[in-house]
Structure 1
Amino acid sequence: MNRIVGADPIPTALARLNASTVLASALGGTGRVGAKHIPPYPRLRVRATPGGSDDLTTGVSRVWLRLEALDSVEAPVGEEQLRHILYVAVSELAELPKQPTPPGGVVINDVFSRVGGGPSPEADGRPRWASVVEIVCHA
């Protein structure tokens, strides 16, 4: 059971996204990736979402991660750019299984799209493109 407790790929995913120069360029700067809905925009909001599974016998976790490209209300970049931001982020996460695992770190076996990207306005009316990826991992 301890293997499940340590199988949290979200910090690794956030580190990868925050370190990506390609994603920072698409977003218009650094410091625009995280769980909060705060300026500056555009921004990539990354949050765990219900779904996935945990195999208590093998210790394999399937964690669903929701990615949301949020636009600015004052100076929108448009849906085409939001889609671009979203798919740059998905592409960055798809590289995680190829990366070396640090000692004691989470082993990421696979990353794939669970819910394809599409427009879905935010509650405050700002444009948003959202997708869900599944990260398969174990500690």
Structure 2
Amino acid sequence: MATRDVAVLQRIRARRREMAHSDPQAIEVQGTKSMTAADAYREDAHTSPAAKQIGFDPEEFGKAVGEAIRNAVEPLHKRIAVLESGGGKKAAGRCGLVFKGAFQRALDYEEGDVVTQNDRVYVAARAVSAGEGLREGMAGWVLMVKGVAQ
């Protein structure tokens, strides 16, 4: 870090300490000017030699950071909403995986149904009609866990 940057940081820290010990709403700066703590911080950021040299605008920087965070978090909010609504496949109150017990060839299974057979746990990757068997690698079923005692 450059010496001038260290000096700027030291001034900012000193000003923050000063603000912490005084009225947070109004402080005296240079003995003549009354301003809020936020105004003092903003003025220091605008008037420091390092900020002037690179054309740094803390308000624009704050807006850009806020927008970047919103853009990064928005897809997560959307995905959470989809998951909370049942993963987009909510049908008749169904949501996520549903344990159905031991596999029975005579039953129909929906996507997301979980069954056991021969110390293994399978999940239906699609709707499976009655009469379709259950073997490892068979279309419609995915092996989840191997070697589970029933």
Place the TM-score, normalised by the shorter chain, in its bin. under 0.3
Q: Which has the higher contact order (CA 8 A, sep 6+)?
A: 1
The structure in which a higher percent of residues are strand is 1
Larger Cα-atom Rg: 2
The structure in which a higher percent of residues are helix is 2
